[in-house]
Structure 1
């Protein structure tokens, strides 16, 4: 199938809990292209003969039934992957596919077995069900990133202030109060984002819609940096919680973190999405543990009149000044990471989605402020300072609970919620890549679902990047924080600035109030971003700034290449190839009537007359590559069936309309797929045709874009090799490509 997907509109968001809609991938034709298509159709009419002859020549019934609609796919209790019946009236085929055979070479066979043990069998007859979360489930699932930052945000702030000695620690309460106000302001501003973008408004979407392409890409760069560091920082903090409770493991910090990343990689590549109620438990456990910790600590402090305990003797290594305070503020503000998650996942809520999302966001911000303020207050009252061997939260838990079961519960809950926050990035990062690829700013391999219905390429890239960052900084949270603040608040700033422009253009009811809230949130986020960029530049923030710059350069070059390919693929009357001969009026000689499987099913033909053909031409769009593949198939003077896999009924009707304007010269079958993928339903349909007529030789003719330069090849999908691997076990199926060079 031609690699000609280009964005023509549609919506999506970076942290939507559902899979992005592939209908946004399929290109539409403008009026100029439709005029050319009609001219091409008239030319085809002169050379291809009567369309009825082509239909009568078909040796199969192309209507093999339909897949269930998304509304008919009901999720199981603990899984979003739902078995569905194959086409052609066959029962579900389970978790095997035609391409599940092991390679014949010994290394390949070993690798195949390892892959299947770790990832499970490919899912052929499976679809992804929609889920809607109620507020009590959505709160912990979508708040894990934000609430878990309480485990490292206050400590990051104190780690800077302690450089100024006791005098520096004296600024902890004012700085914490400022950060709490920042949380409130940004939370209120994201309530306005939910109102403006009820279908999900990620920073990339909002900034791109309102500020332009480059600001949108900068916001995407900030988001992707945020997600990579969410994995690295969350795992580093989670491992720190473990080593605080078990100091003997401190020397294995890096190996433990790498093992955790590998486990997250394997789990997400399996494509399993458990029900939200299971993910809710760690977050609620963490909330309970921290509230219990603060309550016990405040009760103890009340016994001595809330007089702060003196911290241990400190030796100041820096003078207390504006620079130190600004650095501490920027580090502590990392406790806000993930605060935008709910505004991005509005479609994941039960109706009325936007109202439930705003309510949940309010709860999350309230909990975040309470947990953050309570932790900092307890640190101040207990005189706790950051230590190299034990986290601040662990020290507080020791003081409040001793070393008993509640201490173990607190550390376990902390580690669990931090790992859950890391896993959240595995849902979000591939979706940002999906949106970038949809808009031609990233390789189209990131549009593709893997054989376990997960965005495998994005998951692998995130794991590699997070592992490199984690190992490079030795798994130390304090070293990773300077990189974290830059990406987080860059995305915050551009998102809120985009909302200011949105309200200024729209000027609907209450627009002034909404604009004020978003402007306040954007201004404060910009202050944190600039502060972090300046004060932490030499401490590691330069890495994030450099990464953003390289990201912009690479994504713009990728877009330039896809624009060039798009222009080359546009229909031009003088560039259209036409078949020189029509199919014989009576069609080719065929064996007995279709549907009974008569004729030779084994590969025993010895003469050309014994081979009976059917050419299947999968088409994503009617462009030059697709028209060339159709001309090639028709020129063989054998029956031809054009096949279009559509992700929805609207797109299916649109393609049928284009086909009709072209002239309907060849038989067309449109399959509406619930897979949210292209290859899986294509394979399913071809297998169903083979079951219907095992005596036929099916030739799958794919239009394929061939790039001139080797470095451009990774930007184009290679569907033909995937189909060959998948269909190899079935006899009498040929997969061939019609190259289109650009």
Structure 2
């Protein structure tokens, strides 16, 4: 992000995609200057406020992300707290539970989720290609376990005549895989910092197409969890038929385990992620090799399929349904283009190489399994998957059969877990763009997007239970969301190349155009041919998603308009604020000894104050909180948490434009979080002078409608819960009532 330096002050350039501080336009900059001049007429001089501070506001810095070294395992690194600490001192910011049931709940939470990580930072680990391939390709490669079977389950309705189309339809799907894979190679080149469907469609097609692409992605992620778990459970029940009646409880139990594991926020070691995927690839290649050798012994003569009942005649609609069902084997193919920054340098080149290997393996395995199905005459049946029937046919009941089923179940469950990385991330991007509640931008105690993880688990569990955990019932819903996102992403890339027109732009445009056209064909085919079979659910979900996100954006836009600075409506501190303030150190003349941190003040004169204003933006709500703090005629310190150095410079520039009337301390957080670093800073202030009473003043947005409350932060509540164990800290809110 460039650091624009103009008449607005140093570091007031436009916010980047990761920034939480909104940029100010020319009109707001002029309003900020006028408000600052009004403050200057009624408030004490800035140097008076600084001289009155009873503390040193500079308590050190968190280490920048570049200096944080990742551990060998995991992605969370302990960071020393701000400020001085005596030996062995421990400050616990967790709210102490009261009552027997509350204590029991806290114990269960600690055992399941682990202790809150107050002093940890998220570290981005760069992956080598050999590690990135299994980690990012688990979803795509595992779809071989259900894609060919889904195709066959439609064709078998037409009996032997329908099965004759299995190889031609499989060939069309392989061509689609190749075309879409080449298209995403162009996306990686154009978006070397990560280009998911939502970002690409929003950048090139506009906000509404971007939201439609996001709707397709969110539907895809929910169904990935449901379908992968359904297929994984089917692999287990095929090997252990006695568990066939427990499909739903087993699947829901797996979702609960995934929920607990992801809420803990601890990523498994890369080798553990890689093992199931590589084991599955080895199992599939071995199965294909054994099957082809066996077929070669009989001259590749196809065995006849068992007698089949005919319920439908062969027609274009049946073939289209089979094509769209089998195309679900392409799910997860865009995961690598989303995660380009996670690769080691050169990132985009390594990502393209990994994508090529993934598409190559996917084509080989899909083609091999489809060919084996044709040569062996295996057809879908109740109680056992097609893959299990093939393994039984080639390996019997021996250890190789167990290996194939175990690897299949493991990689499918791992594929379900990949959605837990992408769903909360896309939801946080939507929240950043004011299209989802901002609570989804918040990192939880374990530095994971806890609210997004909870929402994904709830949605996936509801879908899984509603369709009885049957893969065949879930497949019709699957293709709609997947190929809707594919189509809009590739259409966005066509617009991108048309606008850019750099070297080789025509070739790149052609690749993306072919991929987009084929993806659109599958989307329309699935939507029309499977509408009554369940595809209508996905289409309705996309429509509802678009409706809700546009309503949320409309509310945030109205709230932003209401919070815009208007010089004649900004509250100012009383003129008496020009009077004398307590001098530096006067708050420390009494009660500063070993017992200075007690709560034994008996008369007002014994209480020594410091007002700390936690402010995020310089809007009307923030200005009202500043005016309220200044009107108390006690020392005031303003604290702002910035996520990046650039954001800190921009806020400092805005603060200077306002006039720098009050002391400001900016803390740069390596967490990508706001409340946890603020808690650290307040704890450090308290440790510096325990005899001070800290009054933490927080602006609060009050909405007219109850349904809008969830859209705004509850920072004061979280601060109050975190800081309750510390004495002499008061949390107060300054409400700002929205007219909408």
Q: TM-score range by the shorter chain?
A: over 0.9
SS in 1 for 2:59: coil
Tell me, yes or no, if the aligned pair for 2:84 and 2:687 is still in contact at 8 Å: no
CA distance in 2, matches of 1:215, 1:649: 33
Find the counterpart in structure 1 of residue 357 from structure 2: 363
Contact 2:238 2:385 in 1 (8 A): yes
Answer yes or no: is 1:84 the counterpart of 2:79.
yes
Return the alpha-carbon distance in structure 2 between the equivalents of residues 50 and 478 of structure 1: 72
1:666 partnered with 2:662: yes
Measured in 1, the distance between the counterparts of 2:86 and 2:457 equals 37
* SS of equivalent to 2:577: coil
Range moving further from structure 2, 594-603 or 616-625: 594-603
2:397 aligned with 1:391: no
Matches within 5 A, 1:41-440: 41-90=36-85, 98-440=92-434
- Report the Cα offset of residue 43 of structure 1: 1.0
Partner of 2:615: 619
| 1:90-146 CA-partner distances (Å, limit 9, x unpaired) | 49999x973324421232222222111111111101101121001000011000000
Q: Pick the aligned partner of 1:713 from 709, 712, 719.
A: 709
- Checking the alignment, whether the CA contact within 8 Å between 1:98 and 1:728 is kept in structure 2 is no
Cα shift at 1:49: 1.4
Tell me, what secondary structure is at the counterpart of 1:616?
Answer: strand
Select the residue among 534, 537, 541 that pairs with 1:543.
537
The Cα of 1:334 is off from its aligned counterpart by 0.3
Deviation at 1:586, TM superposition (A): 5.2
Tell me how far 1:603 sits from its aligned partner: 0.6
SS of structure 2 residue aligned to 1:99: coil
Q: Is the 2:42–2:578 contact (alpha carbons within 8 Å) kept by the matching residues of 1?
A: no
For the Cα contact (< 8 Å) 2:95–2:721, is it kept in 1?
A: no
C-alpha distance after superposition, 1:301-345 (max 9, x if no partner): 111111011111111111011111111000000000001111111
Contact 2:133/2:354 (8 A) holds in 1: yes
Listed as ranges, the matches of 1:467-546 within 5 Å are 467-546=461-540
TM-score, normalization by structure 1: 0.96
Match of 1:691 in 2: 687
Which residue is 1:17 aligned to? none
Match of 1:725 in 2: 721
For residues 671 and 150 of structure 1, the distance between their equivalents in structure 2, rounded to whole angstroms, comes to 49
Give the Cα–Cα distance (whole angstroms) in 1 for the partners of residues 48 and 221 of structure 2: 56
Deviation at 1:653, TM superposition (A): 1.1
Q: How far apart, CA to CA, are the structure 1 residues paired with 2:312 and 2:491?
A: 36
CA 1:54–1:595 in structure 2 vs 1: closer, same or farther (change >3 Å)? Answer: farther
Q: Name the SS for the 2:586 alignment partner.
A: coil
Instruction: Give yes or no for the alignment of 1:681 onto 2:677.
Output: yes
Of 591-600 and 132-141, deviating more is 591-600
Query: 1:33 aligned to 6, 14, 28, which one?
Result: 28
> 2:588–2:691: 8 Å Cα contact kept in structure 1?
no
SS of the residue aligned with 2:639? Answer: strand
Against the structure 1 CA distance between its residues 595 and 246, is the aligned structure 2 distance closer, same or farther, given a 3 Å change threshold?
Answer: farther
> 1:42: how far off?
1.0
For residues 380-416 of structure 1, the C-alpha deviation after alignment (integer angstroms, 9 at most, x for no partner) is 1111101111101111111111111111111111011
1:652 matched to which residue of 2? 648
Q: In angstroms, what is the RMSD of aligned CA positions?
A: 1.7
Give distance in 1, aligned partners of 2:571 and 2:593.
35
Query: Could you tell me how far apart the structure 2 residues matched to 1:264 and 1:655 are?
Result: 39
- Give the Å deviation of 1:600: 2.5
Kindly state the Cα deviation for residue 10 of structure 1 after the two structures are TM-superposed: 3.1
Structure 2: runs of 5 or more not aligned: 1-12
Please give the alpha-carbon distance, in whole angstroms, between the structure 2 residues aligned to 1:347 and 1:429: 18
Q: 1:617 to 1:586 in 2, by over 3 A?
A: closer
Q: Is the 8 A contact 2:93 2:725 kept in 1?
A: yes
TM-score (normalizing by structure 2):
0.96
State how far apart, in whole Å, the 2-side matches of 1:447 and 1:371 are.
Answer: 38
2: distance between equivalents of 1:603 and 1:615? 18
**Distance between the aligned counterparts of 1:687 and 1:739, measured in 2?**
25
- Mapped to 2, the partners of 1:92 and 1:424 lie a distance apart of 42
Deviation at 1:89, TM superposition (A): 3.7
Moved more, 271-280 or 707-716: 271-280
**Is the Cα–Cα contact under 8 Å of residues 60 and 595 in structure 1 kept in the other structure?**
no
CA separation of 1:396 and 1:708: change in aligned 2, threshold 3 A: same
How far off is 1:599 after superposition? Answer: 6.5
The answer to whether the 8 Å contact 1:597/1:692 transfers is no
Q: Could you tell me how far apart the structure 2 residues matched to 1:428 and 1:120 are?
A: 23
- Mean alpha-carbon deviation: is it higher for 562-571 or for 29-38? 29-38
Distance 2:715 2:387 in 1: 51
Counterpart check, 1:571 vs 2:577: no
Quote the Cα distance in structure 2 between the aligned partners of 1:534 and 1:111: 49
Aligned length: 724
Q: Which residue of 2 aligns with 1:602?
A: 598
What is the Cα deviation at residue 694 of structure 1? 0.4
Does the alignment pair 1:738 with 2:718? Answer: no
